[in-house]
Amino acid sequence: MNRSADKVVIDSSVIFAALFRGSDAAVNALSGRQLVTSAVSHAELLHRGMQSGTQLEYVSAVLDRLSICVFAVHTSQAIAAASLRQLGGGISLQPEAWFCFALAQSLECPVVTSDPAWRELRVGVPIEFVESRDRGMSTEVITRRRGVIVAAPLEGLPPAIIERAGAAARLAWEEVFEAETPNPGTRKAYRHAVRVFLAWCEACGVELVNITPGMVGHYFRAHTGSLATKKQHLAAVRKLFDKLVLRHAIIFNPALSVRTERYQVIEGKTPEIAVAQAEKLLASIDASSVVGLRDRAVIAVLIFTAARVGAVSKLRLKHFEHDGSQWTLRFEEKGGKSREIPVRHDLQGFILAYRAAANLEDEAKECPLFRTSLGRTGRLTGNRMTGIDICRMVKRRLKDAGLPSRLSPHFFRVMTITDLLEHGSEIDEVQYLAGHADSRTTALYDRRKKRVTRNIVERISVRTGEGDDQP
């Protein structure tokens, strides 16, 4: 077979870099070329896709759209792979690598990879190495459109049962999950709930138009999630079916008449961190470095503003400003809400000390306020701390302070709300500080009732003789 300039053998690392990491180099390396791989690499890619949290059927669907030619493994290829491994000079690679080389050798075309271990190989097969950098685009995939590979959301692909139901069903899916649900957390949760339900329907051999209220009721009676999870999943399924009815993909909403058990939350589940523990945590942070000053400022913001971690991670330099009488922080909360919170004197000192040490006074106002550190160098980067970064930092600081590892940043929010209510603050004032739309949500954070629970149960007159002398 003559060597073809547009045909390449790809391994799982380069396709994974393009599918799940959003690597521009990987996408460019694959664009406009005939993609070939071995069954071994195909299996490895499916496995890595599932490890990343994506269901097998969706990874398979995306790979089908890429029109990758998958070659079966034969004895002759196994022999060639073993021979090439001998030429590898003892370099330890996965079996997938040697089968890729054997396939490329037989097809007389190069191999494209993102595995840096392949750089030093000399096995008589041209190797193209492309960088794989994670840009945080964990849900990005590539699809072939008019011969060009472009980015497309993996989670946006409708399940097969929706595809089979026709264009109206696909339109309803797109409306619900791409147009009408702006909150990314809600969108992800609803999409997952609907996918699981529809996968159950497909496993039962039921098409979309044949789903009945009885089937939906049976599904939720057998649902193993908590009552709150059932409520959320039922809401997601109802929303999709409402849109399917509106778009005339089905006649009626089979989930509309389905009911679950009554669910009422009296008190939130998140425990509070004690005031003394919060003070101990702040005091334990070494403020002699810019990283220590940053961590102290972040934790103090969480404590003294009752802000959510996501809102703190989005703070920019322009959000910390002096209004002529006092310093304030402006938070961009979920739901598009914006609120301005006055900064108390000690928090003001913490933020100003951090800002000065990080040399942020003269930077553009759009730059992030709290930034990631560069490994263990003690230097800061220009990238903002994400919510995950803040959570990890708090966990690390809790461990260093000898505090329970079960504590999390959200515990500060519970502590602050409870402490303010305990000291006589009006609930509407605390509600504004917490950014709640309803005072009943604020009341869920109030742990004052929980504190008197043991006092009440200890008053029960029955004595067992065990520990009766304890207070």
Instruction: Note the pLDDT of residue 153.
Output: 43
Please provide the DSSP assignment of 52-80 as one string: TT--HHHHHHHHHHTTPEEEPP-HHHHHH
Angle at 40 between CA 38 and CA 46, to 5 degrees: 105
* Beta bridge pairs of residue 329: 320, 341
Q: Residue 213: is it exposed, middle or buried by C-beta count within 10 angstroms (0-12/13-18/19+)?
A: middle
Cα 385 to Cα 370: distance, rounded to the nearest angstrom: 6
**SS3 assignment, position 269:** coil
**SS3 assignment, position 222:** coil
Instruction: Note the pLDDT of residue 263.
Output: 56
Provide the greatest CA pair distance for the chain: 93
Q: Are strands 327-332 and 338-342 parallel, antiparallel or unpaired?
A: antiparallel
Instruction: Note the pLDDT of residue 93.
Output: 74
**What CA–CA distances, in Å, run from 92 to 87, 97, 128, 185?**
12, 10, 19, 41
Structure tokens at 40: 């071994």
| Verdict on whether the full-model pTM lies above 0.75 | no
What pLDDT digit, counting tens, does each position of 345-357 carry?
A: 889 999 999 999 9
Angle at 307 between CA 302 and CA 378, to 5 degrees: 40
* Look-up of token digits 């979309």: 208
What pLDDT digit, counting tens, does each position of 166-182 carry?
A: 899 999 998 998 888 77
* Look-up of token digits 């949290």: 53
Q: Hey, how many other C-beta atoms are within 10 angstroms of the C-beta on 463? A: 8
Instruction: Note the pLDDT of residue 459.
Output: 63
Q: How many CA atoms lie within 13 A of 222 on its CB side?
A: 8
Instruction: Note the pLDDT of residue 138.
Output: 34
- At what angle are helices 410-422 and 290-305 packed, to 10 degrees? 50
Q: What is the identity of the amino acid at 357?
A: A
| Residue ranges of the chain with per-residue pLDDT less than 70 | 1-5, 19-24, 49-66, 87-92, 119-120, 132-156, 263-273, 334-336, 423, 427, 432, 434-471
Q: Are strands 111-113 and 127-129 parallel, antiparallel or unpaired?
A: parallel
- State the DSSP H helix or E strand holding residue 113, giving kind and residue range, or none if neither: strand 111-113
Closest CA to 305 of 134, 430, 468: 430
Which residues 6+ apart lie within 8 Å of 376 measured at CB? none
Instruction: Note the pLDDT of residue 64.
Output: 66
Cα 281 to Cα 193: distance, rounded to the nearest angstrom: 38
Q: How many helices (H) and strands (E) does the chain have?
A: 21, 12
Phi, psi of 312 (to 5 degrees): -65, -40
* Beta bridge pairs of residue 332: 338
